[in-house]
A and B are shown apart, each in its own frame.
Chain A
C-alpha cells in the first residue's frame, strides 16, 4: 500500500489553497473551451501552455502548472457534453455519441436529466480511470525503468500501430496522416549527425515545426471553418439544473451500473492503448446498445445512451495520461500537449518521474481526484452560464476565437511566422477533416517523431543494423508482435468475418 501513502502525500501537495484555486479556474476555463466551437482540449491547453512558463519556474510551480492544464482538460471533457445535449453540436469529437440520445432527451424537455446523467457518468468514468492510474502507474513505471532503446521503440510502434488498427476509416489515410507527422518532425537539424534535413535552404525551417502550432491550427482554425459550413446560427434548448432534477436523476442512475462498468472498462482500455476518447465513446455506445434490453429504443432519448459514451469518453481521456506519465508516450492529442508542457518545463516524462519527481507525479494524480470533483461541482452549478456563452452570435465569437488562436500560436516562440503557419495548418486541417484523414495520429507522430527515431537509431546502432533486435527477448518481442497484430487487425478481422460467413 505504498501507493496510498504516496497518494496522501500527493493530496498534501494538491490541497494547497493556490492549487485548489487553479483547479477551479482550470475546470471553468476548460468547460468554456469545451463549449466553444474551434477550441477544445488539445488546442485549448496548447494556447494556454505559454502562460504557465513563468509559473513553472517557481518552487513547486511545475505541479501547479500541470494541475492547471490537466484541469482544463477535465473541464473540456465535461464541456463537450453540454453542447451535445443542448444544441446537438458536439463541442468535442468524443461527445458525438452523446448527441444520439442526449439531444432527443433535451427535445423532450428532459435536458436536466440528460445533463445530470452525462456529468455524473463522466465523473464516474474518470474516477475509475484515476483509481487505475493510482495503482497501475507506479508498477508500470517501475517496469519501464528497465526499458532500453529497442523496448522504447517497440512501445512507440505499438502506439502507432494501435492507431492504424483501431481507426474506423481507411487505414491508408491514418498511415498518411501519421507519416506526415513524422516527416514534419524530421524537419530541421538532425541532432545525431548535425545535418540539416528537409529545410530546402530556408532558415525559418531550421527550428522545425512545433506541434503546438500544428495543434492550434489543425484543431482550432480547421474546426471553425468546418463549423461555419453549418451557418451562423446555433439553435438550442434552454436548460436549468435544479437540485430536485439532479437528485431524481441520481436516484435512477444506479440502475445502469452494469453499463457504467462496461463503459469504464472500454474507456480505460482504449485510453491506455492509444485509441483515444472518441472511438471509446462510439464503441461503448455500440456495446451498450447491443446489451441493453431497450437496445432498439436507443437514439430516441434513453438515459442509458448518454451514460455509456460519457463514461467511456471520460475514462479514456483520463487513462490516456497513464502511458504519458509512466512511459512518456501520450495516449491522446491532449495528453501529447501536456507531455510537451512537461518537456518545456524541463521535466523528462517517463518512468524516472516516479523516482525523481515524486511530488510532481503524486500531486498530479491527487489533483485528478480533486479536479474531477471540482469539475462535477462546476458543471452542475453553472450550466445556464455555459449555455449562455453558446448564444453569443457566431459573428462575434468566431473572430474572437481566431484572435485567441493567433495569440496562442504567437506566444509559443514569439514568432509571427508561427501565426502564418497556424493558418496554413488550419486550411490543411479543414480539408483533411472533410476527407476523413484523422488528425490525432499526425499530432502524436509530430510529438513523438524525434524520440521514436532516436530510439530506432540507437537500437540499430546497438544491433549493427539487424532488425531482429526488436524480437531479441520476450518483452520487446511481445510488444513488437502485439504492434504488428494491431497493425494488421483490420485485415485479420475481415478474414475472420469472411470465414464465419462461409
Chain B
C-alpha cells in the first residue's frame, strides 16, 4: 500500500473473468457429457443407462455457458468495469493464502494447534495486536472449541502430535 491510488487499479476486468469462468464451466460440462457418454448415455435393456441423465446435464451446461460466453464477448458496456481492484485482491489474498495453509496444517498438527496458530497469526499480522492480547485470545478460542467438541458434545476432531504428547487422543 505504498501509493493510495495504485490500490484502486483493476487487476482483472469483469469481462475477462466472465469469459474465463464461462470457458472453465464449458470444459466442466464437456467432461461431464463425455464421461457420461463413455459409460452409456442411451437406452439400455432395462431403462435409461447410468450416463443418460448426467449426459444431458453436461450438454445443458455447455450450451448455457456458450450463451454466457458469447454475450460477454458482445457486451461492451461492462467490459472495462473492474472485477477486483488491486487493494481488494490484496485483502482477499491476505485471507485466502493463510486459510489454505491453515486447512493443510490441520492434517498434520491437528485442528486445535492449527487454529491457535491461525487466529494468532491473523491477529498479529492483520490486526497488529500485541502478544499480550493475541496469545490469550488465540489459545482461549481453541480451548473453548476443545471443551465444546471433545468434552461436551463428544465429537472427536483431528488431533496432532501435541495432543498425543498430552495424552488427549
Contacts and interface: CB of A to CB of B under 8 A. Distances in A.
Interface stretch (A13-21, A86-94, A195-203, A269-277): A195-203
B1 to A, nearest CB: 12
Contacts of B31: 198
A431 B145 contact: no
A461 B54 contact: no
Chain A residues touching B, range: 35 or more
Nearest to A403: B115
Contacts of A9: none
B99 A402 contact: yes
A195 B39 contact: yes
B73 interface: no
A431 B46 CA distance: 42
B91 A229 contact: yes
Interface in A405-423: 406-407, 410-411, 414, 416, 419-420, 422-423
Nearest to A431: B21
Contact of B119 (A196, A200, A229, A400): A400
Interface in B33-69: 35-36, 39-40, 43, 46-54, 57-58, 60-61, 64-65, 67-68
A456 B50 CA distance: 12
A453 interface: yes
A172, A179, A221: which has the most chain B beta carbons within 10 Å?
A179
Chain B interface: which size bin?
35 or more
B10 interface: no
Contact of B35 (A179, A198, A411, A457): A198
B65 to A, nearest CB: 6
B60 A193 contact: no
B119 A183 contact: no
A108 to B, nearest CB: 31
B65 A431 contact: no
Interface string A390-409: 00010110111011001100
A389 B14 CA distance: 34
A435 to B, nearest CB: 6
A460 B48 contact: yes
B52 A406 contact: no
A170 interface: yes
A472 interface: no
Contacts of A437: 21
A180 B25 contact: yes
A228 interface: yes
B141 A403 contact: yes
Interface string A169-198: 010110110011011001000101101111
Contacts of B127: 232, 393, 395-396
A460 B122 contact: no
A435 B21 contact: yes
A50 interface: yes
Contact of B157 (A173, A221, A410, A461): A410
B155 A51 contact: yes
B68 A407 contact: no
Given A180-B25, A411-B155, A434-B83, A419 B145 contact: no
A487 interface: no
A198 B30 CA distance: 12
Interface centre among B64, B127, B153 (most CB of A within 10 A): B64
Interface string A419-430: 110110001001
A56 to B, nearest CB: 13
Contacts of A407: 111, 145, 149, 157
A225 B88 CA distance: 10
B147 interface: no
B154 A403 contact: no
A254 interface: no
Contacts of B156: 414
A457 B53 contact: yes
B10 to A, nearest CB: 13
Contacts of A403: 111, 115, 118-119, 141, 145
Most buried by B among A190, A193, A432, A461: A193
6 contacts: A186-B36, A198-B32, A232-B127, A403-B141, A411-B155, A423-B103
10 closest A-B pairs by beta carbon, nearest first, are A395-B127, A195-B50, A461-B47, A399-B122, A186-B54, A229-B88, A395-B126, A190-B50, A172-B64, A193-B50
